[in-house]
């Protein structure tokens, strides 16, 4: 049923790996030739083991690329995300090679050769990827998806994943209506199995994945046919998992507690806690050392403009609902909340000072929070902390809002990258979809990706108010 399409996709991924391995081997050999062409004796000595050493470099780099998801055919990458993953792959591959050379000196190829190899290899692999996408950007490498359901839940795919960029990894073949359930999907998108049943339809349409999206699960689902599909290699996932994978969010209106419990993730093991704390200390400490002169200038600018306190302190809700004091550079007038009522910041907020508008746009007002990261009240990456008044309100109005407090709040986060600044209950609900995705899927590599993408947000001032 699925074997021919699956084999074509695996063969395509294998061919891509072979091409990139060849490029990396060629980069090492070219770098060695350039480095040692003036020293014939050393060049001959190096050439005796060059193929093995070049292959070792290629294996380490492609292994790092695989670890960063660059050989997963169905993983979605924006251009920035792809470049960040590629840069991280070469960085971590280079570090791993350095460790190898320290442990096993005979494998060493020299600093100059390694540096030139990595630079040339990075350029070569990026060019291969660009050409690969242009030549092979077709439905052949995309997942053929069939939706079981045609009601409200199924139609979310049309409303939330309607753009071409949302469907880079899959082709939506159609929707199979479930008997006895309402149909909201357009008639021209429906696919009816007929008397032969769902399994025969899946085989005939060469489906790779079934997405189970009925409005009501009890009764009506062709379980025997679905079991037959699984036995023939067709992936079967529910709508929540599909959205999690394709959109990087948890779709709140289709998620139930059992899915959150049994779908995996939520890694709070001791190794993960230690790695996250180590990441926090390194990232916050490095940024603090790099920016402390800038912090002094910001403090001086705030004081010169309006006098009064330079810092602004606010109680926020942290891990497991505990309160802590968050400190920022003051960006608003001293009487911004003179009546004591918490108010969301808005676009072009007239309470902001001139210096305040600048430091909010550039995120310089956030720098004092580095001390909260070092002290352990916050993490570098995580859901943004909210004020207790807003938390009490949002917990009562938005389902699962309290789940975001299962970990420390962050200086930056997945929701800050994927959704603009929120100033309403609806905005908070949309951001929660991304916060829950992070809480469920957080990891060291994910934290690194968010940290690097935050640089772009700060440089272009997206999302600040």
**CB atoms closer than 10 angstroms to residue 399:** 14
Residue 149 in domain: yes
Looking at the fold, whether 98 and 124 belong to one and the same domain comes out as yes
Looking at the fold, whether 206 and 110 belong to one and the same domain comes out as no
- Identify the bridge partners of residue 439 per DSSP, sorted by sequence position: none
Residue 411 in domain: yes
Residue 259 in domain: no
pLDDT class for 437, splitting at 50, 70, 90?
very high
Work out whether strand 323-329 and strand 311-317 pair parallel, antiparallel, or are unpaired: antiparallel
Tokens of 1: 């049923």
pLDDT class for 11, splitting at 50, 70, 90?
low
Query: Mind listing the pLDDT tens digit for each residue in 199-255?
Result: 999 999 999 999 999 998 877 788 999 999 999 989 999 999 999 988 889 999 899
Q: Are 47 and 136 in contact (CB under 8 A)?
A: no
Tokens of 4: 């021919």
Looking at the fold, whether 348 and 454 belong to one and the same domain comes out as yes
Q: Would you say residue 194 has pLDDT above 50?
A: yes
Q: How many CA atoms lie within 13 A of 100 on its CB side?
A: 18
- Residue 311, helix vs strand vs coil: strand
Q: Would you say residue 130 has pLDDT above 80?
A: yes
Looking at the fold, whether 276 and 386 belong to one and the same domain comes out as yes
Tell me, what's the pLDDT at 107? Answer: 83
Sheet holding 170-176, edge to edge: 170-176, 143-148, 209-212, 235-238
Residue 257 in domain: no
Looking at the fold, whether 420 and 275 belong to one and the same domain comes out as yes
* Runs of H (alpha helix) within 267-387: 270-306, 354-361, 369-375
Q: Would you say residue 48 has pLDDT above 70?
A: no
Distance of CA 284 to the CA centre of its chain: 21
Looking at the fold, whether 156 and 101 belong to one and the same domain comes out as no
Looking at the fold, whether 123 and 154 belong to one and the same domain comes out as no
Average of per-residue pLDDT values in the chain: 86
Looking at the fold, whether 310 and 448 belong to one and the same domain comes out as yes
Work out whether strand 209-212 and strand 143-148 pair parallel, antiparallel, or are unpaired: parallel
**Torsion angle in degrees (nearest 10) through CA of 263, 454, 390, 281:** 80
Nearby residues of 406 by Cβ (< 8 Å), 6 or more positions away: 266, 268, 319, 320, 439
Entry pTM: 0.76
Average pLDDT over residues 259-278: 91
Q: Would you say residue 335 has pLDDT above 70?
A: no
- Residue 147, helix vs strand vs coil: strand
Looking at the fold, whether 231 and 298 belong to one and the same domain comes out as no
Which of 115-119, 169-173, 192-196, 366-370 bottoms out in mean pLDDT, i.e. has the lowest? 192-196
Tell me, what's the pLDDT at 273? Answer: 94
CA distance 172 to 142: 10
Q: Are 334 and 308 in contact (CB under 8 A)?
A: yes
Query: Mind listing the pLDDT tens digit for each residue in 402-431?
Result: 999 999 999 999 998 888 776 788 899 999
Q: Are 409 and 384 in contact (CB under 8 A)?
A: yes
Q: Could you say which of 137, 171, 202 is where a domain stops?
A: 137
CA distance 383 to 422: 13
Query: Mind listing the pLDDT tens digit for each residue in 27-45?
Result: 998 988 888 776 665 555 5
Tokens of 354: 């001139």
Q: Could you say which of 100, 120, 137 is where a domain stops?
A: 137
Q: Would you say residue 340 has pLDDT above 80?
A: no
Q: Could you say which of 94, 112, 137 is where a domain stops?
A: 137
Q: Which helix (H) or strand (E) holds 243?
A: helix 239-247
Q: Are 179 and 215 in contact (CB under 8 A)?
A: no
Dihedral sign (CA 86, 92, 96, 98): positive
CA distance 461 to 451: 15
Which structural domain, as residue segments, surrounds residue 344?
270-460
Residue 258 in domain: no
Q: Would you say residue 272 has pLDDT above 90?
A: yes
- Of all residues in the chain, the percent with pLDDT exceeding 90 is 53
Q: Are 403 and 436 in contact (CB under 8 A)?
A: yes
Tell me, what's the pLDDT at 465? Answer: 45
Q: How many domains does the chain have?
A: 3
Q: How many CA atoms lie within 13 A of 316 on its CB side?
A: 22
Which of 86-95, 336-345, 445-454 bottoms out in mean pLDDT, i.e. has the lowest? 336-345
Tell me, what's the pLDDT at 218? Answer: 79
Tokens of 130: 């660009």
Looking at the fold, whether 81 and 190 belong to one and the same domain comes out as no
Residue 254 in domain: no
Query: Mind listing the pLDDT tens digit for each residue in 443-458?
Result: 888 898 788 778 766 7
Looking at the fold, whether 47 and 133 belong to one and the same domain comes out as yes
CA distance 361 to 460: 9
CA distance 202 to 323: 53
Residue 263 in domain: no
Tell me, what's the pLDDT at 239? Answer: 94
CA distance 448 to 454: 10
Which of 12-26, 71-85, 210-224 bottoms out in mean pLDDT, i.e. has the lowest? 71-85
CA distance 81 to 61: 18
Query: Mind listing the pLDDT tens digit for each residue in 346-395?
Result: 656 667 889 988 998 888 999 999 999 999 999 999 999 999 999 999 99
Residue 261 in domain: no
Tell me, what's the pLDDT at 238? Answer: 93
Tell me, what's the pLDDT at 3? Answer: 47
Q: Would you say residue 75 has pLDDT above 70?
A: no
Q: Which helix (H) or strand (E) holds 215?
A: none
Tell me, what's the pLDDT at 174? Answer: 95
Token match 């891990």: residue? 319
Q: Is 249 left (phi over 0), alpha (psi -120 to 50) or beta?
A: beta
Domain at 233, CATH number: 3.40.50.720
Looking at the fold, whether 15 and 121 belong to one and the same domain comes out as yes
Q: Would you say residue 74 has pLDDT above 50?
A: no
Better-predicted residue by pLDDT, 445 or 287: 287
First to last CA, the chain: 53
């Amino acid at each position: 049923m699925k074997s021919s399409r699956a084999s074509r996709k695996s063969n395509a991924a294998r061919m891509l790996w072979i091409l990139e391995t060849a490029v990396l081997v060629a980069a090492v050999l070219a770098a060695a030739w350039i480095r040692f062409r003036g020293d014939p004796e050393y060049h001959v000595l190096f050439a005796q083991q060059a193929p093995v050493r070049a292959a070792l470099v290629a294996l380490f780099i492609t292994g790092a690329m695989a670890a960063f998801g660059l050989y997963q055919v169905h993983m979605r990458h924006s251009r920035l995300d792809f470049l960040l993953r590629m840069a991280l792959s070469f960085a971590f591959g280079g570090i791993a090679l350095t460790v190898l050379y320290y442990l096993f000196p005979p494998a060493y190829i020299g600093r100059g050769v390694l540096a030139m190899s990595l630079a040339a290899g990075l350029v070569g692999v990026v060019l291969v990827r660009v050409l690969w996408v242009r030549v092979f950007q077709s439905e052949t490498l995309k997942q053929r998806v069939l939706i079981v359901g045609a009601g409200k839940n199924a139609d979310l795919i049309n409303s939330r994943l309607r753009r071409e960029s949302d469907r880079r990894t899959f082709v939506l073949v159609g929707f199979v209506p479930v008997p006895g359930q309402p149909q909201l999907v357009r008639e021209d998108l429906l696919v009816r199995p007929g008397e032969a049943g769902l399994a025969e339809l899946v085989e005939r349409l060469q489906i790779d994945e079934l997405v189970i999206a009925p409005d009501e699960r009890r009764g009506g689902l062709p379980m025997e046919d679905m079991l037959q599909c699984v036995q023939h290699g067709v992936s079967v996932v529910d709508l929540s998992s599909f959205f999690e994978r394709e959109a990087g969010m948890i779709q709140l209106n289709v998620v139930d507690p059992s899915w959150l419990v049994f779908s995996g993730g939520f890694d709070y093991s001791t190794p993960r806690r230690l790695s996250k704390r180590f990441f926090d200390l390194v990232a916050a400490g490095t940024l603090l050392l790099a920016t402390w002169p800038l912090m002094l200038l910001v403090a001086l600018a705030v004081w010169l403009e309006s006098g009064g306190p330079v810092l602004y302190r606010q109680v926020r809700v942290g891990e497991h609902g505990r309160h802590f004091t968050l400190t920022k550079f003051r960006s608003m007038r001293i009487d911004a909340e003179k009546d004591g009522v918490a108010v969301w910041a808005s676009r072009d907020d007239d309470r902001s000072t001139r210096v305040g508008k600048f430091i909010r746009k550039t995120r310089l007002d956030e720098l004092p929070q580095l001390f909260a990261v070092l002290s352990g009240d916050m993490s570098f990456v995580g859901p943004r902390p909210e004020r207790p008044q807003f938390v009490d309100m949002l917990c009562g109005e938005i389902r699962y809002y309290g789940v975001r407090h299962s970990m420390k709040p962050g200086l930056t986060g997945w929701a800050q990258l994927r959704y603009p600044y929120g100033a309403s209950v609806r905005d908070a609900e949309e951001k929660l979809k991304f916060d829950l995705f992070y809480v469920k899927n957080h990891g060291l590599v994910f934290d690194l990706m968010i940290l690097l993408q935050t640089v772009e947000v700060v440089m272009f001032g997206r999302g600040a108010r």
